[in-house]
Amino acid sequence: MAVSLCGKRALLTRVNFNVCPKRFGYIVLVPEIGEDLPEKNPLQREDGLPEFGTVTVEKCVSVIGKQAVDMEKQVKDLDAQVTGKAVKDVFTEVLDPLEHIGSALETTWGVAKTLYLGNSVLMPTKSYITIHDRARRARMAKFSSNNIYKAIKEAHLKGSENLSEEQKRIIQKYALEGKLNGLELDSHQKAVLDNALIKLGEERTKFRQKVELSTKQFNHVVEDYGVVRDFPPEVLQLFAKDPTHPTKGPWLVTLQPQVAANFLEYCPDRTMRWNVWQAQTRRNSNFGEKSLATSTTIEEIRFLRRDQAKMLGYNSFMDMSMETKMAGSRENVTRMLEALREKAKPAQDAEIKSLRGFAEKFGFKGQLEAHDIPYFRRKQLKALHHYDEEIIREYFPLPKVLTGMLELCERLFQIRIVERQGVDTWHEDVRYFDVLDEDKPVAGFYLDLYTREDVKMHTKDNFGWTVGIRNRSSVTNTKPLSALIFNFPSPIYGKPSLLGFEDVEMLFQRFGYALQQLLTKVNYSEVAGATNIEWDAVEVVSHVMSHFLYNSTTLREISSHYATEDPLSDAMMGSIQASRTHFAGYDLCQQLYYSAFDMELYSRKDFWIDIMRELWPKYMTLPLEKKDAHPCSFTPIFSGDWAAAYFSHVWSRVIAADVYSAFHEAGGNPEVLATVGRRFRDTFLAMGGSCAPAEVFRRFRGRDPSPKALISVLGLKKKGKGGEEGGKK
């Protein structure tokens, strides 16, 4: 995913558009001089919705090409207009024009993204990547203009009592983007920075390609059905060489994240589990093929990022990263990690002890090791709490879940969500909904629920996306428009699509992400929805929505047996709720370890192996295996966009748990719940990136955030001494 130097997202979908399993189509070069096109956007209908029915790759290319060239020319013209001029009103003279300049391209880009994920025949992968790169370059023009930056910086330094909170945030955004793009450097310094960034891009690409090759090299063929007999049907499909006949071998085990994770969880053969686990943790290390080793690449990436930060005036890349984080400082992150570790580590110790006892009941002998954990924790969860994913799935038919989720949002946020018929879409299964506030349409979204083999974007470790097609803007008079795209199984033989609980959770999270865009009330697209929200707060609303799934009332509203319509029993609800706390200490400690490792890696100069060995025993109960070199394939912080930001995943969970606790405290009182829901809408959903997230939280909660709520919902307070019972079967 392409980002500006400060790490702001160019896309909000968290999709790696450079790594994709599909390779349809051909490369279409985006013209640098756009074709003559009518003034009206040919990809847009009279009602303001995209013209999906007539979209072709060639038309997308032509429109993007013209809009990109137009945008760059208009930015250049605006830059010339403000050169040497005292700007009296920075919004009237600079920022409002920039809002207009970027509007058309953003919408067309959103259409292209939607097609890429929803129909790869209409938008092949290679074609989209070319479009994406061209649109991104054009968008960056407004953040890379020296004279526009000077005008905005001057307004930032002067300040103004006449500016709204939203306007001040926009000025701060442009000022920070400009600084982090090197606009305060002289020409020589800027050239040095640009050269370092080119090298950094090359090293990141090298790291990613080596990990890809190493991942593809490993495969293990299973011929014995006895090894896979306990695999659920949908899991077995991941392994079957012929997915249409998943029970017929052979079955192929790879290191693709979801495949490897499921194999470790369900495979009864310990030797096979170890083989997959060691291949995972030794990928790209010096213990394997030397040409694919990434240790030197890791150090080069760290060196270049350290140089980048120093050239821009920061002590470390971690300090630079804090400019775009709610946490604000490394010290604040460290305090939060330690507060969680104090509760999670003793809980993890108890969980491991409990699991050892449980495994022994099954005749397990020897030392419990990392490759044993997924297998035995699944069995323990089923034994202690009767958690059975296949039985639970029968109680979550997709139509029931969807209806219940939409009704919950209508009730909480005082809106109406109404399906509109006859809307032009990219496939007949796609549905369109209007979002109404006081019976007035304020936004809309497409919903593409079902998998379509060989047509729809589908990766092994991500089954759903939220695409912001268009942001709200009072300046350009545009309403929010989103697309939610999933790969849930299609209904078959009159049987509805049945969702596993993880699928239900993903649906709620993706819709929560969409709500931020759909219900925003800001005036500028640059701060609308999730745009300009600090990285460690951008997942908060998604996590808040998933918390509702562990509420008994919500569970009843979104579930019933697909055939008998029987409700979930209290016992089944209890097992779902218990699944969140089971091994929560172990899981949280893993996240804390990766967060601390990432933070130290980009704060210190010590060799990465020394940092890993120092931190591991502080966070993890089981000893580090001698040849474990997991950082060598840890793409998020080396080739991905989470360098010096991995803690954001934990931070957002802390904030979300604290936010949801306000709903929990309301109990079942409808009036109090409505009040809390309205306050949540007026803050987290309405304000988007127009207000600092720490201030948004204070306005919602009336205080600063605390990790206590997350510690409580994960049951970590209770586990420090005895843990869960290990002897029951």
The tens digit of pLDDT for each residue in 319-358 reads 999 999 999 999 999 999 999 999 999 999 999 999 999 9
Task: Say what the pLDDT of residue 53 is.
Answer: 82
Q: pTM of the predicted model, to two decimals?
A: 0.91
The residues pairing with 434 across neighbouring beta strands, listed in sequence order, are 418, 444
pLDDT at 483 over 90: yes
Task: Say what the pLDDT of residue 98 is.
Answer: 96
> What average pLDDT does range 714-721 have in this prediction?
78
pLDDT tens per residue across span 283-323: 999 999 999 999 999 999 999 999 999 999 999 999 999 99
pLDDT at 38 over 50: no
pLDDT at 30 over 90: no
HSE-up of residue 520 (Cα within 13 Å, Cβ side): 36
pLDDT at 416 over 50: yes
pLDDT at 725 over 60: no
pLDDT confidence tier of residue 452, bands split at 50, 70 and 90: confident
CA separation for the pair 559, 565 (Å, rounded): 9
pLDDT tens per residue across span 643-659: 999 999 999 999 999 99
Task: Say what the pLDDT of residue 719 is.
Answer: 67
pLDDT at 462 over 70: no
What is the pairing mode between strands 481-488 and 440-450?
Answer: parallel
pLDDT at 36 over 60: no
> What average pLDDT does range 385-397 have in this prediction?
95
Task: Say what the pLDDT of residue 158 is.
Answer: 81
pLDDT confidence tier of residue 26, bands split at 50, 70 and 90: very low
pLDDT at 17 over 70: no
pLDDT confidence tier of residue 55, bands split at 50, 70 and 90: confident
Query: 307: buried, middle or exposed (CB in 10 Å: 19+, 13-18, 0-12)?
Result: middle
> What average pLDDT does range 636-645 have in this prediction?
96
Task: Say what the pLDDT of residue 19 is.
Answer: 33
pLDDT at 7 over 50: no
| Nearest Cα to Cα of residue 471 among 42, 115, 103 | 103
pLDDT confidence tier of residue 458, bands split at 50, 70 and 90: low
* DSSP-assigned letters across all residues of 437-481: ETTEEEEEEEEEEE--TTTS--BTTB-EEEEEEE--BTTTTB--E
Task: Say what the pLDDT of residue 720 is.
Answer: 60
Q: Are 530 and 693 in contact (CB under 8 A)?
A: no
Beta-strand runs (E) in 607-718: none
pLDDT at 541 over 80: yes
Helix 146-158 to helix 165-180 angle (10° resolution) is 130
Task: Say what the pLDDT of residue 268 is.
Answer: 95
pLDDT at 15 over 80: no
> What average pLDDT does range 165-172 have in this prediction?
95
> What average pLDDT does range 196-213 have in this prediction?
97
pLDDT tens per residue across span 677-713: 999 999 999 999 999 999 999 999 999 999 999 999 9
Task: Say what the pLDDT of residue 457 is.
Answer: 65
> Which CA distances in Å does 195 have to 10, 137, 688?
22, 17, 35
pLDDT confidence tier of residue 244, bands split at 50, 70 and 90: confident
Task: Say what the pLDDT of residue 453 is.
Answer: 77
Task: Say what the pLDDT of residue 23 is.
Answer: 31
pLDDT at 365 over 50: yes
CA separation for the pair 723, 586 (Å, rounded): 12
Task: Say what the pLDDT of residue 459 is.
Answer: 58
Task: Say what the pLDDT of residue 12 is.
Answer: 32
pLDDT confidence tier of residue 245, bands split at 50, 70 and 90: confident
Average model confidence (pLDDT) for the chain?
90
Helices (H), 83-95: 90
Percent helix, strand, coil in the chain (nearest 5)?
A: 55, 10, 35
